[in-house]
Every structure is written in structure tokens, then in C-alpha cells.
Structure 1
Amino acid sequence: MKPNKYIAISTSSLFLLCLSVAQAETLPITQLIVKQGKEVAPSDGWAGQAGGTTGGSLASWKNIYTVSSAQQLRDVVNAAADQPKIIQIKGTIDISNGIPYKNFADQKKRSQLAVPANTTLIGIGKEAKFIHGSLLVNQVQNVILRNFTVEMPVDVAPHYEQGDGWNAEWDGITIEESQHVWVDHLTLTDGSFTDDQYKQKDGETWTQHDGMLDIKRGSDFVTISWSDFNHHDKTMLIGHSDGNGAQDTGKLHVTIHDSVFELIEQRSPRVRFGQVHSFNNLFMGDAGSRVPAYRYQYSYGVGVKGSIISENNQFSINGLSDNCKIVKAFGKDGNSFSDKGSYAGNSAWLGGTKCAGLSVPKWKIPYTYRLIAVSQVLQRGTTQAGAGKM
């Protein structure tokens, strides 16, 4: 009589098998609902260079998810780790889970959602949205963020800085020490809590919003396209600080195109050390005294060794007495700026380059891109930029 054949399974192997089965039963694995989840970053921006940005486009069927809560998103991130994955956002995700933050420590612990490497995070339809928290792209590569709204977090415990007053801590999205990131068809807004609702504390404004989208600490190869930034003060910082040159020099290559900046006060963007290409964008604001908040200050801020090449942008700023205020130089330490083809109101912005009093950038744009007539920027921006318009 022949002995029975059997397969030996170790205890650890059995545990991993049971764990994978349990995960398959509990994780929100689903079909691909948004076909654009399989797309990669186009070549017409920095994210398409140096190997490109593919996000989760190579995800297998078991790494395609649909989530509708912060906990589901965290579970998926923990399980899938750095494997290629597509995470589809359904409806509004309240990062606070409806529980108000008690203090700084509580907000720091609960308000940030980390986006891992090799991920496409994409909204379903027109209603995908994050509220009461931040998205953090930190020390990872190959991330795509598309088709959702982020309402800016409100700092419950701003800190005081001597000479600068009360300042908030939390950005809507932070890209830090990360490479190859494509941000596309997002809407970023102050939303339900606008700056005119700020209170006074010790005789100064208690500022509860920080940045919308900050790119810093050696991040590189980033494209921001077809996105809508509206109702905010300090919008986009590229480059951490004047003293961070050791980490930032030679990095911070960023493209911003076909996007809208509406009722933005400043920093769209403000650049240190980076090389930024801005084209086909629409800037709409109000510099008049009648606006209770979001009074226009400037669009481009060019700081230490920062460089911006601007092309075919439309600046429609009500009450702007001097078009040179569109660009602001923060010192003259290796920074450079140029513009061609842009309009301020109905007239060509002929003073764009000489206004800042800076040298012309010496670097060249390495990719092919399409400039549109400035007369088309308003229509395209207002009808095609932002979440739900992909």
C-alpha cells in the first residue's frame, strides 16, 4: 500500500495565506470604474521626463480599490504598500472621521493621509472630495493625483512667530522629498471656511490656513495640469527656505499648465532654487479695496536662485494699477524670470520680464508642449480645469 501524499505548510506560510484571504475579503477591491486610472503623465511637463510618471497604471486587478472613508484608504495603503495600485475615491472623505481636532498634537496625529509610491489616487465622477485634513506625498516616487477636490484644513491651534504673527501648520497637499508626481484636474479651495471668518487674537489675525500645494525639500519632476486653485492666500510654495540650497539645488523641476488661479492673494507660485515652467494658465483676482478677503498681492514670487519661464498666460486682475505687481522678486540672488506671449487684461504684458529687474533664465525646456492663443485661455480654463472636468 502506497503511503498518502501530502503538502507540508509551515505555520508562518499558513498565517500569510489566511491573512491574504482575509484582506481580500475586507479590503475594498473593485473593478476599474475610472478608465483614466490607467493613464500615465503626458510628456508635456516635467513629470513626463527622466523615465516619466506612471503611478498605479500597472496595477493588477487585486490592487484596484474603491474607498469612501479615511479608514478604508489607510487600510489599502497599509496592505498594498509600494505595489502599483489604483485607489478610486467615492464621495466625500472626512479625514477627521467627524471628530473635531482637540489641539495641535491631535491634529498632527489624525489629520494627514500618506500617499505611498506607485499610486494613482483618482476621484469617481464629480463628487470626490477630501475635507478636514491633508494629503502627504513624503519620501516616495511615482504618484498620480487626479480628479478630486481638497478643501483646505483649518488649523485649530495656530502658532505665533515673532514678526510674522499667527501662522497655520497644515497644507492641503504637501509634496516633500518625492520625485515624479503628476497633479491633474484637482480643485483646491478654502471652501466652507474662508479667510474673512478669521478672528483676532492678541490684536492680530488668527490665521488658520497655510499652503494649498507645497513642493519642497528636494522634490523633483512634478507636473500640475488642468487644476483649479481658488479662494486662498499662500497658495503654492516651491522650495522650503532660503537656507535649504544643499537639498534643493538642481531639483524642484515643476511644470504648471492649463490651470486656473481664482481669487488667490499670492504664491502662484513662489519659487526658491527650482526651475518652473508656467504656460496657458488663467489668473483671476481683485486688487481693489472692496474685497473682504483674498485681495490680490502678486502671482509669481521669485526667490533665491529660483527661476520661472512664463508663456501665454492670462492675468485678469480687477483694480490692478500697476501690471508689474504680477511678479515679485524676493532679493536678487541668482533668481531669474522671463515672460512671453502673456496678457494683462486685454493688452500684451510687455513689461513682464523687465518688471522684476531679474536676469533671463539660461535653462532650456526639454520637452515638447503646445501653447494656445491667450484669447482661448479664459474659456478653456473656466470650462475644463478642476475636479469633475477630466
Structure 2
Amino acid sequence: MRTAQRRMTLLATTAAATATLLTAGLLTAVSAQAAAGCQVAYSVASQWPGGFTGNVTVTNLGDPVSGWTLGWSYAAGQQVSQAWGATVSQSGSQVSATNVDYNGNLATNGSASFGFNASWNNASNPLPTSFTLNNVACTGGTTPTTPANPSPSTPTPSNPLPSDPVPSIPPQTGLVGWATQNGGTTGGGGAPTTTVTNASALTSALNATGSAVIRVSGTISCSGMLRVRSNKTILGNSGATIAGCGLNISGDRNVIIRNLTFRDWNDDAINVQESATNIWIDHNSFSNGYDGAVDIKRGSDFVTVSWNRVFNHDKTMLLGHSDDNGGQDIGHLRVSYHHNWFDGSNQRNPRVRFGNPVHVFNNYYRANGGYGVASTENAGVLVEGNYFENVRDTYHLGEGDSGPGRIVARNNHFVNSPTGQAGGSVASIPYSYQLDTASNVKSIVTAGAGAGRITV
């Protein structure tokens, strides 16, 4: 924005795919520079009938690269449909991923990551068997393109030795969960990038028609709520901060908000309402605001809230704004909350009305003074694989004047925290996901959640 996102028992497929990739030694590629070499980590982040999300990280081991294209081929008819962090095209089985404007320069040992959605035939989804970087075949090492004093009788090995170390696969932080459904969420896609440094420019860019990638630089001070239109990606440069105001997605769709710090907002930090759909809120930090950090309401749907940190704040994440709005909300408000760090945030982590199924998994809860999760008004919430530490009320049914919902809780980890109140049934999760072991979630989330933890 983790029995389906960031690590489900899908995934025999994802786990097996990753293991196959490692043992086959396929995490290598090479660039067309004077000394060429790279590592590639390709993984299936999530998989569902007819589709999957892939994550790729390429690390340059050779001389610096200015502009790159990574190529591979599929063997089972997979077709890439959407991408972020790269411009991806496909002809037949051949796939080419080219850098976007902000990640084209790779220093020695520098990396770039991108993700994509693709289709598959539901029979098999084999991993690519080889990669090229700038049209040079992968060899797994650094090799001069013009070797000194070559000897015809002593050919240079073209494959890594079995003893060569296999690079580890980085945490999968691509899109997972409800925002992968209903056609997926791509934001501005490959649209031109606009960098904004003040409130006026940000307001204009957010409210413009058409697709756009908007990069926020520095601290922007503002007030109230800024309207966000459809097909926008909003990315924070390093240290980017929005102070005093929030973003309002009202009736629009296909919006991505990543890598921003929100503080001191005077309404909500992010408000998703009026049947807005396909929203991904990922790797942001929230603190010291007036009302909700991320509130989702009024029939909105297909939302993923992932890898965010909330601290020094009271009312965190509200899902469904009132008990009398069932006519608009029932059948909607389907949201995935995963790998978020609820760091002393007091309540609404989240508070849920009507939505079913709502998926709360692999989050880290620390010292929440009020409560963790509340399910109300017949909502159905799957609370799975979370880490609760020093939380006096981990999850419960009903809240305030709101009637009870339903909670299915499983595979959670408790440290100085009680097992919560669960009961009833929850609709099945339709997407695939990988579930991290709950006892590992604290270290995983604290190492990766919040703004400034990804390269965008």
C-alpha cells in the first residue's frame, strides 16, 4: 500500500517459485558496459486465478549503467498487463522492462526495483529461465566486454561456479491484496512525471484530468483536504512531507500514494470516500494529526493499505463512517491492511463496519492504549499472522454504540497481550498472498514500514 497477500499459504506457488529460482541459480543478469554483471531477484508476490503480481530487483555489479532494459521470456503464455517502477512491453513471449526517469542510473552495486501484474493460464506459472540486461546475456559474474589478450584455447566460463554465493531475495513489497482485484491498481502508470515543491503546484497536479505521476519534494505546508483525481501516482522523494493538510479521494479510482510523511493534518491525512475504488496506500508515515490517518468510507472498495507507520496519533484507520450507512457500504469496503506498524497508535487499527472480508495480516501492534482491531455492524474481519506486543485489547466484536461484527483470528503472536475476542465466520479471501510467520513480523515490519524505506 500481508488463506491469500504478502506471504499466504498460496503459496505453495510463490514459495516453490522462489525456492526454484534460488536453486536454479537464476538470480543473475549482465549489462552491456565495459565490465558487465548484475543480479536479478524475480519473485511472484501474489497469485490468483488468472493473474499474478511479480516483483523484480536488478542490482548492477559492473561499471555504472545509464539507462537499462531488462529482458526475459515466458514459457507458458504469461502476459504482462500493468507495471510500476518500469515501462514494460511484451511481444509474444519476450518481455522488456525499461527504466523510468528516476531509476535509470545504476551505480556499481546500485539497485532498481519494479513490479507488474500479469495473466497466466492457471495450469503453470514457471519462472523465467534467463535474463538479459541491455541485450547482454546473463552470466552471473562481471566480465569485460573486450577481454585483454583472449586465448582461443582457454574459453571464459559463461556460467557461475556452483560455489558462487546466491544473492538473497529482498522483502517483497509490491502490490498485494484487494487493490489487485477489479482490474488492478496502476495509478499514473508510465505517464509523464511532474515534481512539485509547494501547495499550489501540488493542488493543481492532483486535480488535473488524465494520468500523471506526481513526485513530492521537500516539505509542503497546506491546510484542509486536497482533491485527488483518478489515475494518479503520488510518490515522495527522500524526506518528502505534507504538513497540515490531507489528500481526499472522492469517487475517483486507480490512485497510488507512496513514500510520504504526513504530520499535523487538520482533518484526515488520507480520506477515501464516495465509492472510490482501486487505491494503494503504501510506505507512508503518519503522526500527530487531528482525525484519521487513513479513513475509508461511503462504499469505497478494493483498497490495500500496506507498510505504513502510525505513531504519536490517536484515531488511526476507520473503515465505514457510520452505523446507518449500510445501504451504501454492504458489499463494499473490502480492504487489505498488511505489514503496517501501529506504533503506540491508540485506536482504530482498524475499526471496521460492514466490510466482508476485510483482511488484517502481518501487522505489528505495539503498546496500543485503546485497542487494536474492532469488527462491528456485521463486518467480517480475518485477523491473521499479526504480532501484538503490550496491547491491552488486541481485537474485539462491537465498539461503542456499534453492534458486533465477526472476527476469525489465526496464527497471531502475543507478547504481554491477551488473545482477543473472535467469533462468527468471514467470507473467503479471493486473492493469493504469502503469510509471514507471526513471530518474525516485528523485525520484518520495523525494518521496512514507513516513509523512506523504499526506492521509488
TM-score, normalized by the shorter chain, greater than 0.5: yes
Aligned to 1:327: 396
Is 1:45 the counterpart of 2:177? The answer is yes
Query: Structure 1's 340 and 121: CA in aligned 2 closer, same or farther, altered over 3 A?
Result: same
In 1, Cα distance between equivalents of 2:336 and 2:297: 14
C-alpha contact 2:388 2:394 (8 A) present in aligned 1: no
Q: What's the CA shift for 1:49?
A: 0.6
| Paired residues of 2:246 and 2:268 also in contact (CA < 8 A) | yes
Q: What letter matches 2:250 in structure 1?
A: N
Structure 1 residue 311 displacement after superposition: 0.8
Hey, what does 2:169 align to over in structure 1? none
> Do residues 375 (structure 1) and 456 (structure 2) align?
no
Measured after TM superposition, the shift of residue 305 of structure 1 is 1.8
1:122 alignment partner, SS class: strand
State the 1:76 CA deviation. Answer: 2.5
Partner residue of 1:75 out of 194, 201, 204: 204
How far off its partner does 1:268 sit? 0.4
Match of residue 222 from structure 1? 303
Q: What does residue 173 of structure 1 align with?
A: 270
- Residue 332 of structure 1 deviates from its aligned partner by 8.1
Letter in 2 for 1:94: S
Q: Indicate whether 1:135 and 2:247 are aligned.
A: yes
How far the C-alpha of 1:152 sits from its partner, in A, is 3.3
Residue in 1 that maps onto 2:237: 124
Does the 8 Å contact 2:278/2:302 carry over to 1?
yes
Question: Does 1:186 pair with 2:284?
Answer: yes
What secondary structure, in the 3-state scheme, does the structure 2 residue paired with 1:57 have? coil
- For 2:116 and 2:278, locate their aligned partners in 1 and report how far apart those are by CA, in whole Å: 11
Specify which structure has the higher proportion of helix.
Answer: 1
Listed as ranges, the gaps of 5+ residues in structure 2 are 1-99, 105-111, 118-173
For residue 242 of structure 1, report the CA deviation from its aligned partner. Answer: 0.5
Q: Matched residues in 1 for 2:379 and 2:313: separation?
A: 23
Per the alignment, residue 212 of structure 1 pairs with 293
1:360 is aligned to 425
1:285 counterpart = 2:367: yes
Cα distance in structure 2, aligned partners of 1:261 and 1:75: 32
Alpha-carbon contact 1:37-1:57 (below 8 Å) kept:
no
CA shift at 1:360, angstroms? 2.5
SS of residue in 2 equivalent to 1:375 = helix
Which has the larger strand fraction?
2
| Corresponding position of 2:194 | 65
Say yes or no: does 1:336 pair with 2:401: no
- Partner residue of 2:188? 56
- Tell me, what secondary structure is at the counterpart of 1:120? strand
1:5 corresponds to: none
Q: Residues 185 and 93 (structure 1 numbering): CA distance in 2 closer, same or farther, change over 3 Å?
A: same
CA gap of 1:312–1:38, structure 2 versus 1, over 3 A, is closer
Say if 1:268 and 1:328 are closer, same or farther in 2 by CA, change over 3 A: same
**What is the aligned partner in structure 1 of residue 24 from structure 2?**
none
Task: Classify the secondary structure of the residue corresponding to 2:184.
Answer: coil
Residue 181 of structure 1 deviates from its aligned partner by: 0.1
Tell me, in whole angstroms, the C-alpha distance in 2 between the residues paired with 1:333 and 1:298: 16
Counterpart check, 1:261 vs 2:358: no
In structure 2, the residue corresponding to 1:133 is in which secondary structure?
strand
Query: Retained in 2: the 8 A contact 1:37–1:120?
Result: no
Where does residue 15 of structure 2 map in the other structure? none
Is 1:114 aligned with 2:227? Answer: yes
* 2:380 aligns with one of 288, 291, 307: 307
Scaled by the length of structure 1, the TM-score of the pair is 0.69
Q: In 1, Cα distance between the equivalents of 2:438 and 2:182?
A: 30
Between Structure 1 and Structure 2, how many residues are aligned? 289
- Taking only the aligned residue pairs, the percentage that are identical comes to 37
Deviates most, 145-154 or 327-336: 327-336
Secondary structure, in 3 states, of the residue corresponding to 2:390? strand
Q: How far, CA to CA, are the matches of 2:314 and 2:204 in structure 1?
A: 34
Secondary structure of the structure 1 residue equivalent to 2:312 = strand
Normalised by the size of structure 2, how large is the TM-score? 0.60
Does the residue aligned with 1:379 lie in a helix, a strand or coil?
A: helix
Unaligned ranges ≥5, structure 1: 1-30, 97-110, 155-169, 192-208, 287-295
Q: Does structure 2 conserve the Cα–Cα contact (< 8 Å) formed by 1:273 and 1:307?
A: yes
Query: 1:180 and 1:249 mapped to 2: Cα distance?
Result: 17
* CA positional deviation for 1:265: 1.1
Answer yes or no: is the 8 Å Cα contact 1:40–1:57 preserved in 2. no
For residue 33 of structure 1, the aligned residue among 75, 79, 102 is: 102
Shift of 1:44: 2.5
Shift of 1:58: 3.1
